[in-house]
Amino acid sequence: MLHIEDNEDKYIYKTYGRLPYIRAKQNRYCDKYDIGDELGRGTQGITYHAVERATGDNYAAKIMYGRHELRPFMLNELEIMNGLNHKNLIQLHDAYDLDKNVTLIIELAAGGELVKDNLLKRNYYTERDIAYYIRQALWGLDYMHDHGFGHMGLTIKDLLISVVGSKNLKLSDFGLSRKINRHALTTLDFGMPEYVSPEVVNKEGVGFSHDMWAVGIITYVLLSGRNPFRGSDDYETLSKIREGRWEFSDSIWSHISADGRDFISRLLSYRADDRMDVKTALKHPWFFMLDSLPTGTEYQITTDNLRSYQDQFDDWSENAACKQYFRRRRLSGCYTHPSRMVYPPGHSYTPEPTPELLPEPKKYSTKRENTMSKYLHPDYELGLIQSESHYQYGPDTYLLQLRDVSFPVRLREYMKVAHRRSPSFALNDSVDWSLPVIRERRRFTDIMDEEIDDERVRSRINLYSSNDSFTIRRLRTELGPRLDEYTEAEALIESQREGCLPFFREKPQTLAIVEYQPAHIHCFAVGDPKPCIQWFKNDMVLIESNRIKILTDEDGRSILRFDPALHTDIGIYKAVARNSLGQTVSRCRLVVATLPDAPDSPEVSAVSGKEILLRWKQPRNDGHSTVLCYSLQKKEFSSDIWTTIADNIDHEFYFVHDLQPNTKYQFRLASRNRIGWSEMSIPLTAETAAIDSPKIQISKAMEHLQKLTESGQEITAEEERVHTDYHCECEPPNWITDNSVNEKYSFISEIHRGEFSTIVKGIQKSTNAIIVAKIFDLNTETEPLILEEFENFRTLRHERIAALFAAYKPVNVPLAIFIMEKLQGADVLTYFSSRHQYTEQMVATVITQLLDAVQYLHWRSYCHLNIQPDNIVMASVRSVQIKLIDFGSSKRVSKLGAKVAARCMLDFQSPEMVNEEPIFPQSDIWSVGVLTYLLLSGKSPFRGTDDYDTKQNISFARYRFENLYKEVTPEGTRFIMFLFKRHPTKRPYSEDCLEHRWLMSSDYMIKKRERAVFLGNRLKEFADMYKDIKESHATSTQTITQSLNGGPSTTQLLRSNSIQEELYATF
């Protein structure tokens, strides 16, 4: 039977083609699916029949309810199923993640369970039937093991039949599945006792051989109708598995082939190393019988024994199954519980319903209370009303005058948001929101637990006065707007201290390793005295060995070298730089590099008689290594021979020419990273136009990139980080006053236009390297500003700050030109708003890199004072890499503060800028907070109806949490609160921000941030408004382009389309 599928997505799904990564949605599953009968339930959740309303397609909905600490277990199944795509494995279709439950919409196996709904419907079956089903189970496991996944929980209940009447088997239930690291096996303490392997019982590392043991048990059960290790309770079952003794004792085995018994024997070997792996098992002679026709004389195995075993299996499963809430008890629990069962009988895991309210006892009011009128507003200051606050009376609840009368109202709103976003806070049900609660003027951090490092605070206090070490922190930091004595003392001491605290000029960066190949990570820390570097892996001190070496190069960089790198090296690494004055910390991750995904099919952008302009998007997964280039192949539609057009394409478009008119062609792509080439994409069919159709016009920037590709430029993998040259800090570049700028560079397109300058993309003629030039209109008004920016910019060198190569001030030409390193050109706001969707992980990456740049500036005693979206530019769009630019507003500011005039856009100004108060390094931190809020909400946090209203909102730190996307993690919300403090000395330093939980690089936080997905449409509205404001202030002078002697004319220097072309290539 031939089935025609019109829907391409369904075709890919049904043919097990490449599927997009399915992210959990934050809305309700019942908005899209109708839920029907219950299909089954396990320890983790309940599975129902589900019908998609839009299409009428049938699925199964696995709904899991559980406490917050169990959520990683529930989401683990989602992560695993996203990596599985095989005909013998149940497929994932959709997912939903709400506060109370996680729902997986999965493929419906309408044939039911293999044993209960199929084998037991017959009176007998044959050994050939069992071999047929076991081989399909091994095919599914083979796919999982090849992709590094272990099932870890296989039982007869997980063997499902795809369609009623079919013999196609699928494996299901991946709740215990995990990624297996062969070199670092971990223990497993979950599962059904009679199916676990000896290494589980012995608390040893568990690998793929655990699945093979389970296959052996399943085969034994299906052929004999009993389990060789089953005891009267779970304790006895695990004891039998620990002993490892079993035999073919039943009479049935005399009718089973020798190959069948040998197959089971080689799977039920006590030592994991002696068991067959899945590929060896698939080649076992037992399966040879499936290659020949049945003889009709096979022994018929009766189902009586299997039916008795199924009854016992169902009893255990029904007792262990959840009533509603997720259950997961350890196997070791049977050793301590009197019932000797993993899931004790009669034990209810689902929380009991709330009991009926008891009648309140009669309250005898006091005489004083009887004198109060119920119609008068009570005097809360007299203490007659019971407060919700649990703070004790004393100096910690000292009542302070409110500086902002609306503060209690806003604080109540913050508390409501925290109640919704924070699981721990939500557990406190004692708060009655109908009462006016807030009368204690406490710091917000005290109420919301903003993870203050108490040890750091205490050590600072002890530097100045041991007698004052027990002073209430709030009274030291909250009284009045002036600097508190401790912060002022710290700033004074630091300004007069000899030497310098350690600082990381170059932090260790996340590295993708290739197993059995050398790899290294490095960092560069400076300080006075010179700091020593210590390396940690997963917070354990790293010890040198024959394979792992810690070296120091001639410049002082500390290099952690792996020769070779192994899979066991994966983890979180920490470098600690210490000297006698203090220490600083930086972290990075080691991950395994893999081949990138194949790109999606290219798209036709334009067509002529002999030309086709193709565009495509980057692969969704780059394999933890940046995509280096693409290979494009073509063939005529009627031909079978593919021809490579180019395999060094360093951009996401290609101008194909010299084609035949009115001819159909097919094109396909592959992407390459440091590991190698991906698979080819699905071919695209395109047809050229008639011979007399107009030719395709492309921009000058695209033409230049096309020429580089056609010239055969070699693409090399940049494995090493380029070491930054720091000599310019001591020997900075000076103005070049000759007219050689047009001899050395050609300018091809305009990227951006500012208030006094224009940013253009150019080419260095001697090397064909792309550069960026900032061209100023030089006059009496702008010259002081240009000179000030040059003085600030010329000595800065950092990997997160755009590098200045040269500065030109040609004679008799009213121009000043900064030649800078290559940048992609799009600012961070344009980058995010141009995407259909982006994740919180991408926002956290941008904020981390921005804080690295700010930390360097503050170390150099500079404040940027103009951190806003158009000054944060993407260095690349293939990975999230930003650079900080525009130092025209930067000033030297110490920790004691300084009076500085603000030139920043009002929305990004801090309260001290708005009120013309002294500026501090933490003024930049406020702007970082504004950018964070903007990217997590699509709205400016303090924007009011007019400038006066905006200034008032900034002055009193008034902002609303309702604007944040509902998918934002609680850690992201707290990070914003951590930064938005009215007084600068209450804000964290950049190093404190980098240590905040929201920016941690642990696997848990990374996955949590990746699951928070935001649509870009709301941010696009703000981006359009922001762009209009900037363009209204942009320079409109024609002097810049007219004065480029030998350069392009005004009509030639057009606004670049290359930025939009590159942004189109992102998802």
Q: Could you report the per-residue pLDDT of 984-1033, keeping only the tens digit for each?
A: 989 999 999 999 999 998 888 998 999 899 988 889 999 999 988 888 87
Residue type, 874: M
Strand-pair partners of 891: 863
Domain 727-822: CATH superfamily, name plus number: Phosphorylase Kinase; domain 1 (3.30.200.20)
Around Cβ 159, how many Cβ atoms within 10 Å?
24
Could you tell me the pTM of the whole model?
A: 0.62
β-sheet with 603-607: strand ranges across: 603-607, 612-615, 653-656
Tens of pLDDT along 350-373?
544 445 555 555 545 444 444 444
pLDDT (tens digit per residue) in 369-393: 444 443 344 443 333 333 344 444 3
Q: Are 625 and 664 in contact (CB under 8 A)?
A: no
Which token pair is 572? 């979180």
Classify domain 828-1029 at the CATH superfamily level: Transferase(Phosphotransferase) domain 1 (1.10.510.10)
The answer to whether the beta carbons of residues 726 and 505 sit under 8 Å apart is yes
Helix spans in 422-453 (H): 423-426, 444-448
d(CA 786, CA 381): 59
Best CATH choice for the domain 8-107 from the list 3.30.200.20, 3.40.440.10, 3.40.250.10, 3.40.50.300 = 3.30.200.20
Q: State in Å, rounded, how far the first CA of the chain is from the last one.
A: 38
pLDDT of residue 409: 60
Q: Which residues of the chain have pLDDT under 70?
A: 1-20, 346-496, 717-722, 1035-1067
Closest CA to 692 of 661, 657, 656, 727: 661
Q: Cβ distance 215 to 137 under 8 Å?
A: yes
Token digits for 553? 């190069």
105 CA to centre of own chain: 23
Neighbouring-strand partners of residue 559: 522, 551
Distance between CA 252 and CA 256 in Å, rounded? Answer: 7
Tokens encoding 294: 């049945």
- Indicate the SS3 state at residue 986: helix
> Are domains 113-333 and 828-1029 of this chain identical in fold?
yes
The pLDDT score that the predictor gives to residue 458 is: 42
619: how many CB neighbours lie within 10 A of its CB?
Answer: 23
Q: Does domain 113-333 have CATH number 1.10.287.130?
A: no
Q: What is the DSSP letter of 954?
A: H
Bridging pattern class, strands 46-52 and 33-41: antiparallel
pLDDT given at position 449: 38
Confidence (pLDDT) at 75:
87
Domain boundaries, the chain: 8-107, 113-333, 502-592, 603-710, 727-822, 828-1029
- % the chain with pLDDT above 90: 45
- The hierarchical CATH code for the domain 603-710 is 2.60.40.10
As given in the structure block, the two tokens for residue 524 are 């560069």
Classified as helix, coil or strand, 876 is strand
DSSP letter for 448, please: H
Gap between the Cα atoms of 1047 and 758, Å rounded: 15
Structure confidence by residue, pLDDT tens digits, 47-67: 999 999 888 899 999 999 887
Cis peptide before 72 (omega within 30 of 0): no
Place of tokens 């040879």: 288
* CATH code at 502-592: 2.60.40.10
Q: Please tell me the distance from the alpha carbon of residue 256 to that of residue 199, in angstroms, as a whole number.
A: 28
Query: Which amino acid is located at 648 in the chain?
Result: N
How far apart, in whole angstroms, are the C-alpha atoms of residue 491 and residue 983? 16
Q: Do residues 693 and 608 touch, judged by C-beta distance below 8 A?
A: yes
Contact between 889 and 903 (Cβ < 8 Å): yes
